[in-house]
Amino acid sequence: MRRLLILLIPLLPLMALAEPAHLRVQGSNTIGAALLPALVKGLLQAQHATAIEQRPAAVANETVIQAQDAQGRPLRVDIAAHGSSTGFTALGRGEADLAAASRPISDAEAHQLQALGDLRAASAEQVIGLDGVAVIVHPDNPLPQLTTEQLAQIFSGQIQRWEQLGVVGGEIHRYARDERSGTFETFKALVLEPHQASLTAQTQRFESSDELASQVAADRQAIGFSSLAAVHGAKVLAVAEGDAPAMLPDRALVANEDYPLSRRLYFYLPANAKPQARALADFAQSPCGQAIVAAQGFVSQQVNAQPVPPHADMPPRYRTLAQQAQRLSVNFRFQEGSASLDNKALRDVQRVADYLRQNGKLQSKAVLVGFGDPKETPGRAALLSRLRALAVRRELARDGVEVLEVTGMGDELPVAGNDLEQGRLRNRRVEVWVY
C-alpha cells in the first residue's frame, strides 16, 4: 500500500491538470436556449480555446459545451435552461456558479441568497441585453393591437372569443410559458397583476419559448407571448398601456425601453464568483458580447444615433431637437423611489461617453432631456425631470463629457399610462440627443 502511494504522488499534479475547469449556469430558457451557448463559445474563442464542442445533455433544455484552453487543459460548461427561478434556486443550493434571468431578482430571492452577497449590487446584477415580450397570434389574424388591459382580460378568461375583440375567430386558445419562466413572471408583473388578474387554468403552458411560438403560428385561434427572439413566423401585435400610443416591439423601442413589455436580461453573480463566471459576464458586456446578443435576435446595449421624425404634437423645444439633432438609443432610468441611476444606467453612462468620444462629440454636442410623471404641485414635474437630467450630467462629466444643455419637460410625451406605478416609473427617464 505504501509503495502504491509513493508511485501515485508524482501523478497527482497531472491528475489535477486533467480535471476540467467547470462552469455551471442555470436559469432562464429565453437566455439559455441559444444566447448563452453563443456567448460561452464567443468567450472561449476570444480566449483562444480549441476543440470547442456543443452537445445537448441527457435532459431537455440542457446543454454541455467542452473545449481545451490555450494551454491544452480541458474546459466544461453546463447550461440548464429551465426558467429564471431555477437559476436562483440553484445558486442557493450551490449547484450553479451564475444565474441567468429574464426578470429581476425578487425581494424574497435576494433575502434568501444574502449569504452570497448583495445580488442587487452593480457588480452582481448585470444587464446583458434587452428583450421585448412579444404578444403573438396566427399570421392570418387581422387584429393589429391590444391594450394591456385587454391582454389581462384575455389571459384571465374574461374575454373568451375573438369576436369580443371585433374580429372573427371563435374561441380564443391561450398559450403561456410555465411558472418557472421569467417571461411569464414579466407578463404577470406588467400585464396581469396591475389589472388584478390571474392566468386562467384554460391555458396551455410551455417550458420552451420556441415550442410555444411554433404552436401559436400553427393555430388560427391562438394568442401567446414569447421572447422577441422566438417569434418564429407568428404575427406580432402592437401593445398600448394606458393613454400612451400602441407600440410594436421594434428594436429601437426595446433599446430605449419605451415599448410597454420591454424587459432586461440578467446575469447574477455571487460576491465570490468563479473567475470563469466573472469572465463570462465581462465578455457579455463587451462590444463582442453585445454583437452576439444582437445576432441571436435580442437587442444589444451598444449606443447609436437615430433620427426622430418631428411632428406637430411635440412640444416646440422637442420638435426643434427632432429637426436638428439625433436621439441616442438609450434612456437613463432610475432606482425605484430614488434619483440615483439604476445598475443599467450606470453602465450606460460609460457606453454613452465612449460613443461621444469616438464620434468627436464630447464637448457641447449632447443635450439631456428629462421626463417624469404628473405631480399635484404646479411646476414640480418639470423640476424633478430636470433634476434627473442633472444627475445624468454629473455622471457623464466624470467621463469627460461636457453637456450643451439640460432641460426638463415634466410629464409631457409619456410612454406609458400614469395610473399605475409601473407606468410612472417608465415615464421617469432621461433622453440623450446629439448634434
**Tens of pLDDT, residues 160-182:** 999 999 999 999 999 999 999 99
Annotate 76-92 with DSSP letters as a single string.
EEEEE-S-HHHHHHHHH
Residue 69 carries which side chain, given as an amino acid letter?
A: D
Mean pLDDT of all residues in 401-424 = 92
Residues 358 and 409 in one domain: yes
Contact 181, 81 (CB under 8 A): no
For residues 318 and 10, what is the distance between their CA atoms, to the nearest angstrom? 74
DSSP character for 188? Answer: I
For residues 263 and 28, what is the distance between their CA atoms, to the nearest angstrom? 13
Q: Is residue 331 part of a domain?
A: yes
pLDDT range class, residue 17, cuts 50, 70, 90: very low
pLDDT range class, residue 10, cuts 50, 70, 90: very low
Q: Is residue 43 part of a domain?
A: yes
As given in the structure block, the three cell numbers for residue 238 are: 402592437
Residues 426 and 310 in one domain: yes
Phi and psi dihedrals of 373, rounded to 5? -115, 165
Q: Is residue 379 part of a domain?
A: yes
Residues 371 and 389 in one domain: yes
Mean pLDDT of all residues in 419-429 = 89
Residues 415 and 315 in one domain: yes
Looking at residue 206, its pLDDT comes to 96
Residues 155 and 235 in one domain: yes
Residues 173 and 250 in one domain: yes
Q: Is residue 316 part of a domain?
A: yes
Q: Is residue 103 part of a domain?
A: yes
The 10s digit of each residue's pLDDT in 243-271 is 888 999 999 999 999 999 999 999 999 99
Looking at residue 1, its pLDDT comes to 46
* Cell 437613463, residue located: 332
For all residues of the chain together, what is the average pLDDT? Answer: 93
Q: Is residue 58 part of a domain?
A: yes
- CATH number for position 164: 3.40.190.10
The 10s digit of each residue's pLDDT in 183-213 is 999 999 999 999 999 999 999 999 999 999 9
Annotate 319-346 with DSSP letters as a single string.
HHHHHH-EEEEEEE-B-TTSSSB-HHHH
Q: Is residue 8 part of a domain?
A: yes
pTM: 0.88
Q: Is residue 260 part of a domain?
A: no
For residues 165 and 146, what is the distance between their CA atoms, to the nearest angstrom? 9
Looking at residue 19, its pLDDT comes to 55
Looking at residue 378, its pLDDT comes to 86
Residues 356 and 415 in one domain: yes
- CATH number for position 308: 3.30.1330.60
Residues 309 and 423 in one domain: yes
Asked whether the predicted pLDDT for residue 2 surpasses 80, the reply is: no
Residues 289 and 352 in one domain: no
pLDDT range class, residue 9, cuts 50, 70, 90: very low
For residues 84 and 101, what is the distance between their CA atoms, to the nearest angstrom? 5
Contact 263, 168 (CB under 8 A): no
Asked whether the predicted pLDDT for residue 5 surpasses 70, the reply is: no
The neighbour count for residue 380, using CB atoms within 10 Å, is: 14
As given in the structure block, the three cell numbers for residue 371 are: 421626463
pLDDT range class, residue 20, cuts 50, 70, 90: low
DSSP character for 163? Answer: G
Phi and psi dihedrals of 223, rounded to 5? -145, 140
The 10s digit of each residue's pLDDT in 309-337 is 999 999 999 999 999 999 999 999 998 87
The 10s digit of each residue's pLDDT in 265-288 is 999 999 999 999 999 999 999 999
Asked whether the predicted pLDDT for residue 36 surpasses 70, the reply is: yes
Residues 142 and 79 in one domain: no
Residues 7 and 115 in one domain: yes
Number of domains in the chain: 3
User: 96-126 burial, b for 16+ CB within 10 Å, e for fewer?
Assistant: bbbbbbbbbbeeebbebbeebeebeeeebbb
Residues 411 and 348 in one domain: yes
The 10s digit of each residue's pLDDT in 67-92 is 999 999 999 999 999 999 999 999 99
Cα–Cα distances in angstroms (integers) from residue 131 to residues 6, 44, 204, in the given order: 58, 25, 23
Q: Give the whole-number percent of the chain exceeding pLDDT 90.
A: 89
Range of the domain at 430: 303-434
